[in-house]
Structures are given as C-alpha cells and as structure tokens.
Structure 1
Amino acid sequence: MIRTQGINHIALVCRDMKETVEFYTGILNMPLFKTVELPGGGQHFFFDCGGGNAVAFFWWKDGPPAAPGVASVRKFPLDAKTAIGSMNHLAFNMEESELEAALDRLEEAGVEHTHAVVNHDDSRAGIAREKHEGVFVRSVYFTDPNGIMLEFAATTKAFGPEDVAHAPASAEAN
C-alpha cells in the first residue's frame, strides 16, 4: 500500500534564475535553502514555502519559451483553461487574517494581482462578492516573473462528505 505524507516539492521552470530568486526570497519571503548546478549548463534551486514544503525551479539557458494559454494560465483577466498535463496554478496555504496584508505587499512590490480577495463558494458563478457561510476558501491570485499563476489560499471551513457531490466527468461521455 502506498502512503504519501504530503508534497515534498513542486518543480517548475523559470526563464531567469536571478529574477526568480529575487521574487521568491525578496517579495514572497521564501528562503532559498538548496542550489544545484546541473550538468550541461542548468540550475535547480529550492525555496522553503513553509510547513515542510518546497517550491523548486529548473533553469536552462536554452529552455523553450513560455506558452501561456497552453502550458500555463493566461494572465489577467484570468483565462484558467490550460492543456492536459500542464500546471494550472500553485496555491500556497495562508491564514485568512494574512490575506489583506499579502495584497498590500503585492501592490507595494508592483506584482500583478487580483486587487481583492476572491471568495470561492458553491454558487453557479463559483465566487461571491462578500464572505458568507458557504465560502470555503478565500484567495488572492498573482503571477511570478515567469508568468506562473500563484495563489494565496485560506480554507475557511472543514470539509465533510457533503462536499463531494459531483460524479467525475469522462472524455468518453462527450
């Protein structure tokens, strides 16, 4: 039986390691704790994002260009559809009481972001203007220098069996 203990790290690809280090250490306050020089001229750096979890980046001088709308989310206004096997976005857990301060910090740093906390609920639209009893997560979305969509997410309720209410869709049914 396989039993995982959470995420050790997620490995992403950046266009410029120096710019990425400055963003993740300077703006997001994630300490750089391991660097690796790769054979053939690449790098692999690891950042502590809290809770024993890490975000890592690969960089290659001859890496292919970004492909927004295919391999990553298109920037604002948000177009969340991405290709099969792509990474849509990365969400960092945060206390709800820290979300407004995070918005302020992103604004001060000139980082493109949602400019308001997004209240996710089970309504038809999936979001609400105001926080209410049905809001299950509150989020701030922003992008890093590589165009990677990131999220600060605060879960606002405990989930139960009633929260698994939809049958999984199948490509074969279409």
Structure 2
Amino acid sequence: MNSPRFEVRGFNHVALVCSDMERTVDFYRRILGFELVKTVELPDGMGQHFFFDVGNGNSLAFFWFAAAPDGVPGISAPEEKPGFGEWISAVSSLNHVAFDVPPEKFGGYRKALKEAGVRVGPIVNHDDSPSQVATEMHDGVYVRSFYFQDPDGILLEFACWLREFTADDVAHAPRTAAERTTPVVI
C-alpha cells in the first residue's frame, strides 16, 4: 500500500444545513445521544453553526442560515430511504451520512430508534452479488446497515463493517461524466 500524500486522520467535521436548529439539536442529542460541543452565532445575523461529537475525534456540524432556501427532495437530498423509495440525489449533493457502529450493538440500535419513533428502513446486508444485497447473512457480506432520516429529511445510516477489505475489493474502473444518462426533467 502506498503511503498517503496527506496525513488525514478521518473527518474533522461534516457540515450540513438544517431548517430548525432547535429541532435538530433535540433529534441529535435526545434520539442519537450525540453531545453538543460547540455553538457559534454567525456574524450579521446570518445564522448559526453547531457541532456534535460523533466519536473518535469526528464531528457532525449543522448550519442554520436565516435566508437558506428549502431543499428539494430528489435533487438536493434523497426523497426516501433505500427500501422505501427513490434515494438518488444530484451531483454535488450529500446523499447520506453513515455512522460506524459496533456489529454487536447493531440490532439494539435499530430497535432503540424504532422505539423512539424514528422510521427506519430494512436491514441491508451489502455483498458483491448482482443485486448487491443478500437476504441472509453469509461470508461475503462486508457491511450491514439500515437507513433513517433526521427531521429535515437528511438521510442517515448506521453501518457496521464485517470484514477487512483486500486488493480483490478494488475491481471496477471509474466511470466518467460522458457515461451518465440524462435525467428526465418534468
């Protein structure tokens, strides 16, 4: 393995935009249990920027902009969770944030979210089959996950790695912009 050009230790933070900071703080603190570690009032009444500790030195941050336009489901973010509907989003959008969780706590976390009233998607056993989803566990499942959304519809995922990757896991040539199909605009 080549040594990295830059010594990146993970994410410092991922910054998203919310419509209601109070509701966002309630969800991420009360439902997900993330500690609110920093709050900032932006200059000139522009808005706020809040940071949650998500473990391992990583943060999830939110901007609340007083003049932010509403998101457009299916363009700026997925319309739904995989398994419930359309989850494609536009180029340069953030499709989802996946949180790494311990495999032994995966089922309990899903149950806890459901008990808290969060609508969660089905468990997805990601594998290398043509459908990329296994209905049952087997040695080829490399990650298990389920998806849910925050109050603004931001797609979130709890995922747990089940095996280490090898050189055989990098087997596809990157696709190009010229290979994209033109979406139908209604």
TM range (shorter): over 0.9
Which residue type is aligned with residue 87 of structure 1?
A: L
Structure 2 counterpart of 1:11: 15
1:98 to 96, 105, 114: 105
3-state secondary structure, aligned to 1:98: helix
1:55 to 30, 50, 60: 60
- Superposed CA offset, 1:29-66 (max 9, x none): 00000000011320000000111110000001221001
Structure 2 spans left out of the alignment, 5+ residues: 181-186
Could you tell me how far apart the structure 2 residues matched to 1:84 and 1:74 are?
A: 15
Structure 2 counterpart of 1:64: 69
1:20 to 11, 14, 24: 24
Could you tell me how far apart the structure 2 residues matched to 1:30 and 1:53 are?
A: 11
Check conservation: 1:99, 1:117, Cα contact below 8 A.
Answer: no
Change (3 A) 1:159 1:61: same
Check conservation: 1:10, 1:56, Cα contact below 8 A.
Answer: yes
Could you tell me how far apart the structure 1 residues matched to 2:157 and 2:98 are?
A: 4
RMSD: 1.2
Structure 1 spans left out of the alignment, 5+ residues: none
Which residue type is aligned with residue 101 of structure 1?
A: G
TM-score by length of 1: 0.95
Once the two structures are TM-superposed, the CA of residue 173 in structure 1 deviates from its matched residue by 4.5
Structure 2 counterpart of 1:151: 157
3-state secondary structure, aligned to 1:84: coil
Could you tell me how far apart the structure 2 residues matched to 1:34 and 1:78 are?
A: 35
Percent identical among aligned pairs is 48
Structure 2 counterpart of 1:45: 50
Once the two structures are TM-superposed, the CA of residue 117 in structure 1 deviates from its matched residue by 2.0
Check conservation: 1:100, 1:117, Cα contact below 8 A.
Answer: no
2:85 to 71, 78, 84: 78
Once the two structures are TM-superposed, the CA of residue 12 in structure 1 deviates from its matched residue by 0.2
Could you tell me how far apart the structure 1 residues matched to 2:85 and 2:127 are?
A: 18
Which residue type is aligned with residue 82 of structure 1?
A: S
TM-score by length of 2: 0.89
Once the two structures are TM-superposed, the CA of residue 98 in structure 1 deviates from its matched residue by 1.1
Check conservation: 1:73, 1:82, Cα contact below 8 A.
Answer: yes
